[in-house]
Amino acid sequence: MGITTIIGLIAAACTTVATLPQVVKSLRTRRTGDISLPFLTVLAVGLCLWLVYGILLGETPLILGNSVGLALTTCLIALKLRYG
């Protein structure tokens, strides 16, 4: 594994972990009023496009990071729609 892949995996981990506290807080409190649905929607579209890009290039860091990021963002969207 080269240094480029290692840097990509670390970057993917950082950006993915950044969403996790919001998911946990939203699940615990069942409050999502301060989260913007348009923001989450644009973020999900961006993550989806990065995922497709990563798949097309066959780049593991892009695929892993954006898959998990998209899953967490989709979870936040579902919580936002449920709890408003």
Residue 8 has pLDDT above 90, yes or no: no
Q: What is the pLDDT of residue 16?
A: 84
Contact 6, 42 (CB under 8 A): no
For the chain, give every domain's residue range.
3-83
The whole-model pTM stands at 0.88
Q: What is the rounded average pLDDT of the residues 44-59? A: 96
Q: What is the dihedral of CA 55, 58, 61, 62, to 10 degrees?
A: -30
Percent of the chain surpassing pLDDT 90 = 83
Which CATH code for domain 3-83? 1.20.1280.290
